[in-house]
Structures are given as C-alpha cells and as structure tokens.
C-alpha cells in the first residue's frame, strides 16, 4: 500500500522511462510520503507485443478488408507470434546471441518496412551486428504496428496514442465525445493493468503525468476508470501538457475525470494535495497553482503562502517500482542523435531549473519552468548521479535541461573527474562563446558524448530577431570545438520564422551544407516554426509581422472561445511566403548531408520549384574556423591538468662549445604519446606545476606570477611548440 500512485499513461519512450514520476517520487521520499510509480506505456507495449498479445489481435481483424501489406502480415501471423517473445527479449538486452540469427535472414517475417533495406548499407555504413539486428527488429515491430493501425486501432503509435485528440484541442468536445465511446483494444489492456495496480497499491491520491498530447487521451481513460470504480480516490493531472496547454482551462467537464489540474513545478502542489487528502479541515486547505471545481465552476487556486522548493531541496529522482530491465532499445532511423533517444537506458537529471538565457522569442519564456532559473551545486548533482548509478545499475545520463549552463557543466565535469567516475552523458546547450576548445576537451574527458543545440535559422539577421545571442560564425567555431574533442553535435534547425525571406531560407541551407561538409556537425533536424501562446511572438504578434487566426476567427474572438487547450496558434505571415513547400527539399538535403554525400549538388537540385542563388560565399564556414586562433590569456582563467605524470629523462645538449641541461618529458595518453624537450629548470617547474593543477584548477595569474619569479616571459613559454602539444591534449585553460 502507498498513499500516492504516480502514473505515466501510454505512450512516451520505449527505451527509458519518462522522468516526471521519478522526480516527484524522489521529492516525496524527502517528506516521508509513500508513493508507487508505474509507466503504463511500457507495460501495455510488453503485454501487446507478446505471444499472448499478438494471438488476441487476429480475431479482431478477421472482418477487416486488408491492404496488400496487411494481407501479407496476416498470412504470416503465426511467424510473428512464434518470434515476438525472442525479439522483445533481444531488444531488452536479454538475448544478445539472437543478433546473428536476425541478421542472417529468413528469421523475421518481413513486410513493407523492410523495403528500405536496399539503402541500409548506405544509411548505416558498416554498423555492428548488434545495431544492425536492432534496426531489423525495429522494422519488424513497425510492420506489426502498421497492421495494428490499419486493422485494430488507428490511434496506435509506439510513442503516442490518439495524439490528434490532444493537438491544438481548443475545445474539449472531440476528446469528451471519444471518451463516451466503447474502450478500444489498447484501452482494455491499459485499464486491466491499471485495475490490478490500483488494487495492489490502494492509494488515496492518483497523480497522472501527461508530458505530451500523445498521452492525453489515455490519461483521461485512466481517470475515467478510477472515477467509475474507485470514486473515493482523488485524481490529479500535471506535467508538460497542462503546463503549456491548459493554463486557461474553463471547461468544467474536465472535472468529471480529474479532481485537480496542477501547473508548473509539481513538488509543492503535490504536497498540498496530499495534505488535502489527509486533512479533516477541508475548508482550510491550501493549494498551489491548482485548477479545481468549486460550486460547479472551474476555479484556479494559488492561496498558499509557501514558496516552491529550491532545486537543491527536491531530492534525487527515484526510479524504483519501474521495470527498468524491461525497456526495449530500438534503432529507427539513421540519425545519430535520434538514436540516443531510442537506444539505451538513460538516467535523467536536470542541472538547472529553467533557462539561464531565457530570451529566445519562439520559446515559452513567460512560463515559470523556463523563466525561473536556478542552478544546483555541482557536488549535489554528482551525488545524485552516484545515487542513481547505485539504484539503477546504469551509468548513462541525459541531462534534460532547456539549455545546460556552461559554467555548471564545467564544475560537474571537474567533480566527475575528481571522483574518478565512469559515466556517459549528453545534454542540450546553446552554442555560445563560453564553450572554448579547452572546455570541450574537459567535457569529453568527463564522459560527455553528445550535445544538441539550436542553430535555428542560420541567418545572423534572424538569429538577432530570435534573440538567440549567437552568430552563425560563432556556432561554427563552437560546434567545431565539440567535434574536435570527440563529442557528437546535433543542430536543431528552423525554417518559416516570421519575416524570413526565401533568400534567407536558401542561405540558411547553404550554411548548413557547409557545416556538415566541413564536419562541424554530424546530426540535425529541420522543423517549421510554430507560434505558441506563451512565447514573445505569440504574446506580441504585431511586433513580429504575423496575424494570428483560426479558421477565419480573429485572435481576440478565438481567445474567448478557448475552453480547453491553448498553445499552438495558427497565423499568417505578412510576407505571404508559403514556407511549407520548402519542407521536403530541406529534409531531403539534410538526410544526404548527414551521410556525407551530395555536398556538390546545387541547392536548386533539392527543390522542384525555382529558388534564388545563395549569397553565402562557398568558403564562409571554412574562413570562420580559420579565424578562431586566440593568443590572449585571461588572468581570471584557471589552469588544470587532466593527464598523467610524465616520465622525465635528463640529458645534456651542446652547441658551439656551450652545454646546458635538458629534459625529455614523455606524456602517455590513452590513445597517444607526446614527447617534449625543454630546459631542465623549466621542466622541473612544469612537473611541479602539473602536480599542483592535476584535476584541481588554479588561477592562471598565480601560475604566471610563479613562472616569472624564476624565468622570463610566460606568454613566450605558454605559446611555444612544446607547450602547444600539451595544450591540445590535457593542459587546459578554463
């Protein structure tokens, strides 16, 4: 038994749990409030994609008029039933030897998803057998999914369910109507698992986290079931969807399913709801950012005097109760960054609450989860990493920040190195100038494997309008530093930003082409600009040259009509440009660039309509990188050595009758050996200095002062050829 049941409804990710419930459970631990969490999504998937689950599908499909593809799958259904359990076990990492059988052919039944196999060698290169088998097994699952969508349930998707009902649902009517219908096959599986868990846990309060539109329908189905069968249990919804979409909720029918809808940080609202469920004095109950029904009207209550908990005080996420060894790793498409999302189990943490930049005009910067910036001490963060490693047995971390702060990333990296932890981690960043070459080397040494960041529209005019705080040239330098350090770089790319011209779209593509050709970025994704209600563009559309509208209804009239979800806003760009038509060409060109080909193609070749010639010089990015050498030394910088103690051999050098002592210093790195020869006195000083700054930064001005108390010009020594070798390997200025 537990006081609270935390639920993530179907569906989010297959390979790792969405972290919201783990965050809340970790906080509840600090308050000694008992809670049980479940990821209904993975439990439903495992029930459906099993011998028992697939066997139950065929009778439901017998009356369907099959397409050619579904007819093939239907005919081979016994082969799917025979192989499904072994394939799922393989994708869970429990049956690795099956990879050879999968790759040898004639094991998996194949339908239309396998038509792309002719391109697999081109797309994936000489991928290892395990990865190749994962990809083939993923195609096999997608074939089954296609059959389910066509013949069983059109709303099914591996990472979403009935998403259309949650997207831009200004009215609750369609979703409400759907909830009055008979439950679907997926619903029945979901509710059967839910019933068993509610009986087992016997909670007083159920918290359903809804991160995305694709979770919304199932969240309401779960709440509907609990209301019908366990009316004494209180039910609350929180998470990313209500945080962004339900801030102007008015429809009281929502409260036929939920007792409460909470917004923004969930810790204090949940604690107060817990108090409400245990309080005899209901009239005195306090709430934090909570919608509820009072006197048959929707009211928003924020009547507590208590402040939100600091990021340092919310505890370590707790992944207990979740079936961590049952998640399945898939490889869907040949995009290096997307594979991190779907392949492997990642512990999820947050370095800082909110965004330290908080200015981008397309972002929901008016909302607290972005607006309120609050970092955490590196020591506390690495403590949490160690706790999670002990708890989950996994040492991979995805920091889910809006934009991880460079200074905190540096401190976390230093703390990881100091504790000699072996971890792999990745996060989202801004490509800002704080990411120097040396910092990137440090991050790599600490286990950073990838970063993603917004290049957005690769145009300096538009980047300034977006208030991104970077230039294309700066992005090129920073991404190159990461790449040279061995850290994969993914760029988020945008087209159709307000006032963007066709010329700027073409020039942006040319910038992207050059960045991929020179190797500064390895992965990317184009998305079309979407205007949201809580962004500066959405709040001030006139300033950005857009006219909000919805099916001919004015923005002001529409705002009055919205009773449910309110986030995405349709609009007309005053330029009159149809940006939709660029979508296919931009994405097709990027797909080829990611595979290192077609850089010689004229940009016109990607489009079936006439586009202007680019105005970007063909060597713009190359020249930007050639201008990146910096010979300045900031006295506030800190020196650190992340290498090992060198082997030193002394020898005597003679020239024109003069002799002097020299030292050969041999530095052994993991993949390289560097030898330098310098005068003995300087070598002795360097050896002593390296020990003093080994994994412990020291101010450069103190190092410089110490050097010049014994020798002459420090800059001449620092930029010498021998020292340059060390500075490219492990002697870093931060």
Give 62's DSSP letter. Answer: T
Alpha carbon of 399 to those of 83, 139, 310, 348, 377: distances in Å?
36, 29, 18, 6, 15
pLDDT in tens, 50-100: 999 999 988 776 667 889 999 999 999 999 999 999 999 999 999 899 999
Determine contact, residues 415/376, Cβ cutoff 8 Å: no
Determine contact, residues 458/504, Cβ cutoff 8 Å: no
CA distance 137 to 159: 17
pLDDT at 491 > cutoff 80: yes
Query: What mean pLDDT do residues 445-471 have?
Result: 90
pLDDT computed for residue 118 by the predictor:
55
Determine contact, residues 374/301, Cβ cutoff 8 Å: no
Determine contact, residues 322/291, Cβ cutoff 8 Å: no
The model's pTM is 0.90
Give the N- to C-terminal CA distance of the chain in Å, as an integer: 51
The two structure tokens encoding residue 687? 């050896």
The two structure tokens encoding residue 456? 């957005």
Ordered DSSP codes for 589-611? HHHHHHTT--TTS-GGGG-SS--
Determine contact, residues 409/382, Cβ cutoff 8 Å: no
The CB density around residue 6, as the number of other CB atoms within 10 Å, is 27
Determine contact, residues 384/316, Cβ cutoff 8 Å: yes
pLDDT in tens, 211-250: 999 999 999 999 999 999 999 999 999 999 999 999 989 9
Using a 10 angstrom Cβ sphere, with 0-12 exposed, 13-18 middle and 19 or more buried, the burial of residue 633 is: middle
Looking at 49-164, list the stretches that DSSP marks H as alpha helix, in order from N- to C-terminal side. 51-55, 58-61, 68-75, 77-91, 98-104, 120-124, 129-151
Percentage of the residues of the chain whose pLDDT score is greater than 90: 61
CA distance 591 to 607: 14
CA distance 317 to 443: 23
pLDDT computed for residue 162 by the predictor:
77
Determine contact, residues 142/113, Cβ cutoff 8 Å: yes
CA distance 377 to 384: 11
Domains, the chain, ordered by start: 1-42+160-309 (3.40.50.2300), 58-151 (no CATH), 345-626 (3.80.30), 638-733 (no CATH)
Query: What mean pLDDT do residues 354-377 have?
Result: 86
Give 118's DSSP letter. Answer: G
């Amino acid at each position: 038994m537990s006081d609270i049941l935390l639920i993530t409804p179907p569906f989010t990710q297959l390979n790792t749990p969405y972290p919201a419930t783990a965050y809340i459970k970790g906080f509840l631990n600090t308050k000694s409030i008992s809670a049980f969490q479940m990821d209904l999504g993975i439990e439903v998937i495992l029930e459906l994609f099993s011998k028992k689950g697939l066997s139950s599908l065929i009778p439901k499909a017998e009356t369907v008029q099959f397409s050619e593809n579904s007819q093939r799958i239907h005919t081979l259904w016994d082969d799917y039933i025979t192989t499904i359990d072994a394939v799922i076990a393989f994708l869970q990492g429990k049956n690795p030897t099956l990879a050879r059988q999968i790759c040898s052919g004639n094991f998996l039944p194949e339908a239309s998803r396998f038509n792309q196999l002719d391109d697999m060698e081109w797309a994936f290169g000489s991928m290892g057998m395990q990865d190749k088998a994962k990809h083939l097994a993923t195609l096999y699952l997608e074939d089954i999914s296609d059959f389910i969508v066509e013949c069983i349930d059109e709303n099914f998707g591996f990472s979403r369910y009935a998403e259309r009902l949650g997207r831009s649902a200004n009215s609750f009517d369609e979703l409400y109507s759907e909830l009055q219908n008979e439950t679907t096959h997926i619903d029945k599986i979901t509710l059967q698992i839910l019933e068993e868990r509610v009986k087992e846990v016997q909670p007083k309060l159920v918290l359903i986290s809804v991160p995305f539109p694709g979770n919304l329908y199932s969240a309401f189905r779960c709440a509907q079931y609990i209301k019908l069968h366990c009316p004494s249990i209180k039910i609350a919804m929180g998470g990313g969807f209500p945080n962004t979409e339900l801030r102007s909720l008015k429809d009281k029918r929502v409260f036929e399913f939920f007792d409460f809808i909470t917004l923004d940080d969930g810790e204090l609202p949940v604690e107060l709801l817990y108090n409400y469920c245990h309080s005899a004095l209901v009239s005195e109950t306090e709430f934090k950012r909570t919608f509820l029904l009072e006197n048959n009207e929707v009211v928003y209550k924020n009547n507590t005097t208590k402040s939100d908990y600091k990021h340092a005080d919310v505890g370590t996420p707790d992944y207990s109760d979740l079936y961590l060894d049952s998640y399945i790793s898939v490889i869907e498409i040949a995009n290096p960054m997307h594979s991190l999302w779907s392949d492997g189990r990642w512990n999820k943490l947050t370095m800082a609450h909110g965004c330290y930049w908080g200015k981008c005009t397309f972002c929901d910067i008016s909302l607290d989860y972005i607006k309120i910036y609050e970092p955490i001490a590196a020591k506390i963060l690495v403590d949490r990493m160690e706790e999670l490693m002990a708890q989950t047995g996994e040492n991979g971390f995805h920091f889910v920040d809006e934009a991880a702060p460079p200074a905190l990333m540096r401190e976390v990296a230093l703390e990881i190195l100091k504790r000699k932890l072996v971890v792999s981690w990745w996060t989202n960043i801004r490509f800002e100038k704080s990411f120097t070459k040396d910092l990137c080397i440090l991050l790599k040494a600490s286990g950073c494997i990838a970063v993603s960041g917004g290049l957005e529209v690769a145009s300096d005019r538009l980047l300034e309008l977006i208030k991104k705080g970077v230039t294309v040239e700066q992005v090129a330098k920073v991404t190159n530093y990461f790449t040279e350090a061995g850290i994969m770089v993914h760029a988020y790319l945008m087209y159709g930003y307000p006032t963007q011209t066709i010329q700027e779209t073409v020039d942006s593509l040319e910038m992207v082409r050059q960045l991929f050709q020179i190797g500064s970025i390895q992965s990317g994704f184009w998305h079309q600009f979407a205007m949201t209600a809580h962004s500066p563009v959405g709040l001030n559309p006139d300033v950005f040259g857009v006219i909000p509208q919805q099916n001919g209804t004015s923005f002001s009239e529409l705002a009055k009509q919205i009773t449910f979800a309110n986030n995405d806003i349709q609009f007309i760009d005053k330029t009159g440009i149809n940006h939709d038509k660029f979508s296919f060409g931009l994405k097709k060109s990027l797909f080829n660039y990611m595979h290192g080909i077609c850089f010689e193609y004229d940009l016109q070749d990607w489009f079936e309509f006439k586009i202007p010639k680019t105005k970007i010089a063909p060597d713009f990015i190359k020249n930007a990188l050639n201008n990146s050498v910096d010979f300045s030394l900031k006295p506030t910088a800190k020196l650190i050595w992340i290498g090992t103690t060198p082997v030193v051999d002394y020898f005597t050098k003679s020239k024109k009758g003069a002799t002097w002592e020299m030292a050969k210093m041999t530095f052994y790195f993991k993949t390289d050996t560097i030898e330098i020869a310098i005068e003995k006195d300087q070598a002795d000083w360097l050896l002593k200095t390296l020990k003093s700054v080994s994994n412990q930064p020291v101010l450069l001005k103190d190092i410089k002062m110490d050097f010049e108390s014994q020798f002459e010009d420090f800059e001449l020594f620092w930029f010498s050829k021998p020292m340059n070798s060390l500075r490219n390997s492990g002697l870093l200025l931060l």
